[in-house]
Amino acid sequence: MQWVGTPALAAAVSNAGALGTLTALTQPSPEALREAIRKTKSLISDDIKKERENHFGPFAVNITLLPSINPPDYVGYAKAALEEGVRIFETAGNNPGEVIKVVKEAGAFVIHKCTAVRHARSAERLGADMLSIDGFECAGHPGEDDIGGLVLMARAAEELKIPFIASGGIANGQGLASALALGAAGANMGTRFMCTKEAEIHDTIKRAIVESDERNTVHIFRTLRNTARVFNDESTDTSLIASNRHTASTDDGSLAFAAQPAHDPDKPPDLADQGQVRDEKLQRQATREGAVELLGSHDHDSYVLQAQHQEKWKAWGLAKSYLNDEIDHGAANVPLAWQAFLTGMIDMLLYSRSAVWLGFQTGNMVQFSSNIAQFIIPGVERQPLLTLLRILSVIGFFFGSFVGFQLGRRVGHQKRSWLIMSSVIQSAFLFAGAGILLSRPKNEMPSFEWYPGVIVLVAFSMGMQSILAQKLVSPAFATTVAFTATLTQVASDPYLFALVPSEKTRGRDRRMLAILSLCVGAGVGESLLHTRANLSGGLAICAGFKLVLALLWLVPQGKKSGAETGGKA
């Protein structure tokens, strides 16, 4: 609604009982927006102002973030509106994070408009208070997914934790009622208000909109991945040609332009002669098709480049979708078993040299309690450095779990991209620990004074690993204490002695795989201590194995692909 969301229209909508919206970018600068806000306030009735004074105010300001080489001062617009007392903002377009941060710090309310549920979830994480779900029916920019509002609202109702309103294709009470039935908290309308007397649009355009039907819009700019739904007239024909080919040349090298009929904006369309109108439309279509055919024969290289560009976008879209897919833990036995293997390996390496468990924090707490008792019981040898190492292990593990939880919550605990990212981060901490050990003088065995930093780094890594497995909701691999909880579960499994693997033995088999992987890892770790690799080399090998784990997360089937396979079956 840029150029249309003026003070007169915003105030009229609010005075009628809805929430009028002033479009910030209609104004040339933040200072001009200040004046527009003051004018809007002067046009809103005192009754509405009084009614809304405890509900963030009588109207909102829209800030649409558009792709631009020299973008406007979006934050400046937001700050100007805040200083003028605006407390409701609608954001749309590109990433609104910077604007949302400024608005939320001021205690204002943010509605973010988006065309995909995945974008809605991102805005939710950024702090939006409400979402406006824009279906493919909308005017302006409907996004690149071509998903209708009916589907988007149903998905939004399932996946979003904050309220949402419906946008696009709604122009009356029936549309509002259907949106409410699908879970929306309200509706957002734009085009419907373009035909009001308060909208500063030429009457000829208003009349053309009123006299049109659902077939009178067209999409342009698809090849630029900036799809827009606009009214279908002569100018859109030119735009469609330009978006497919940049230039056209005749045989003698001169530019060729499609002939367009003269158009007088002050003269209402003469619809009396329907046959003539139909002939003109057919002629325009033939002209457009002829121009495209002409351009195709003289601009083959441009067409090839465009096709390659589209293929790259498609490949990137598929890769992004694959990385954003959530992992089905039932299909992730290999990476989870590899993770249990690394748990045994890392714990054996460090415990054999420092007597501190890195993954088994229950053991650390018991040993720590034992150390405390040594300070109380007279005549018992005390080990203050060992006590410190165990405290550091617990603290490092706790902070690793905390950071892993916070980062995973932002990205998505079960998303493939986070599982890969988390494994790489864990690897970096292990490499750092190995680096500390390698920094000691050559041929010198590391003494206890080298261990505090190593213990903290490795415990942090193990804490991240633990929260990853727990949030992946994998009962067999969610705990690193495989010989306590997991072993107990195996012993109590009703199918413990079943010889033939089946659906009923799957839980037993997964738990036994976790135990076996842990034991093998511990054995490998102990073996490395008796080779030239020793502790530092063994820890570096574990870090490298963590990178292998990151690659293994590419293998399991995701929930989306699993659902698609099930649907086809």
Residue 208 covered by a domain = no
Q: Please tell me whether residues 534 and 550 are part of one structural domain.
A: yes
In a domain, 115, yes or no: yes
318 plus 408 within the same structural domain: no
Answer whether 11's CB lies under 8 Å from 193's CB: no
- Extract the tokens encoding 179: 């949106």
pLDDT at 535 over 80: yes
pLDDT of 241 reads 67
Residue with tokens 């001009």: 32
Shared domain for 510 and 465, answered yes or no, is yes
Comparing 98 with 369, the larger pLDDT belongs to 98
Confidence of residue 69 (pLDDT cuts 50, 70, 90): confident
SS3 label, residue 134? strand
Residue given tokens 């809007």 in the structure block: 40
Contact indicator for 353, 433 with CB cutoff of 8 Å: no
Distance CA 99, CA 284 (A): 44
In the predicted structure, residue 215 carries a pLDDT above the cut 80 = yes
- Identify the CATH number of the domain in which residue 459 sits: 1.20.1250
The CB density around residue 105, as the number of other CB atoms within 10 Å, is 10
Q: Which residue has the higher pLDDT, 377 or 552?
A: 552
Q: What is the pLDDT of residue 403?
A: 94
Tell me if 480 is assigned to some domain: yes
Say whether both 52 and 148 belong to one domain. Answer: yes
377: pLDDT strictly greater than 60: yes
**Per-residue pLDDT, 455:** 87
Q: Kindly state whether residue 40 falls inside one of the protein's structural domains.
A: yes
10-62 pLDDT, tens digit per residue, is: 999 999 999 999 999 999 999 999 999 999 999 999 999 988 887 889 999 99
**Among 97-111, 228-242, 509-523, the least confident range:** 228-242
Question: Where does the pLDDT of residue 444 fall: very low under 50, low under 70, confident under 90, or very high at 90 and above?
Answer: low
46-55, 152-161, 181-190, 417-426: segment of lowest average pLDDT: 46-55
Classify burial at 178, counting beta carbons within 10 Å of its beta carbon; exposed 0-12, middle 13-18, buried 19 or more: middle
Bridge-based pairing state of the strands 217-220 and 88-93: unpaired
Q: 223: which DSSP letter?
A: G
Q: What is the pLDDT of residue 141?
A: 80
**Residues 174 and 233 both lie in one domain:** no
CA 253 to chain centre: 48
Considering the domain architecture, whether residues 368 and 231 belong to the same structural domain is answered as no
Residue 222 pLDDT: 79
Residues 119 and 61 in one domain: yes
C-beta separation of 160 from 120 below 8 A: yes
pLDDT in the model for residue 106: 93
Confidence of residue 144 (pLDDT cuts 50, 70, 90): confident
Same domain, 178 and 225: no
Threshold 0.85, pTM exceeds: no
Residues 268 and 287 in one domain: yes
**Could you tell me whether strands 228-231 and 217-220 are parallel, antiparallel, or unpaired per DSSP bridges?**
antiparallel
Same domain, 283 and 398: no
pLDDT surpasses 80 at 276: no
Helices (H) and strands (E) in the chain, counts: 21, 9
User: For all residues of the chain together, what is the average pLDDT?
Assistant: 80
Average the pLDDT over 110-117 and give the result: 94
The pLDDT, as a whole number, for residue 291 is: 44
- Domain edge (last residue) among 323, 343, 358: 323
Q: For the residues 323-337, what does the mean pLDDT come to?
A: 82
Of 133, 166, 201, the residue that ends a domain is: 201
CB atoms within 10 A of CB 311: 10
**Does residue 137 sit in the same domain as residue 277?**
no
Alpha-carbon gap, residue 266 to 247, rounded angstroms: 31
Alpha-carbon span 371 to 384, nearest angstrom:
8
Tokens of 103: 């608005």
Residue-number span of the structural domain to which 393 is assigned = 325-568
Q: Has residue 259 got a pLDDT over 50?
A: no
Residue from 64, 52, 94 nearest 1 by CA: 64
pLDDT of residue 254: 41
CA distance 392 to 157: 44
The total of structural domains in the chain comes to 3
Which tokens belong to 541? Answer: 């090998």
pLDDT of residue 394: 85
Counting residues of the chain whose pLDDT is more than 70, the rounded percentage is 78
Query: pLDDT category, 117, cuts 50, 70, 90?
Result: very high
Taking the C-alpha atoms of residue 150 and residue 152, their distance in angstroms, rounded to an integer, is 6
Determine the average pLDDT of the residues in 534-563: 84
Residues 6+ apart with CB under 8 A from 536: 434, 437, 438, 446
CATH of the domain at 168: 3.20.20.70
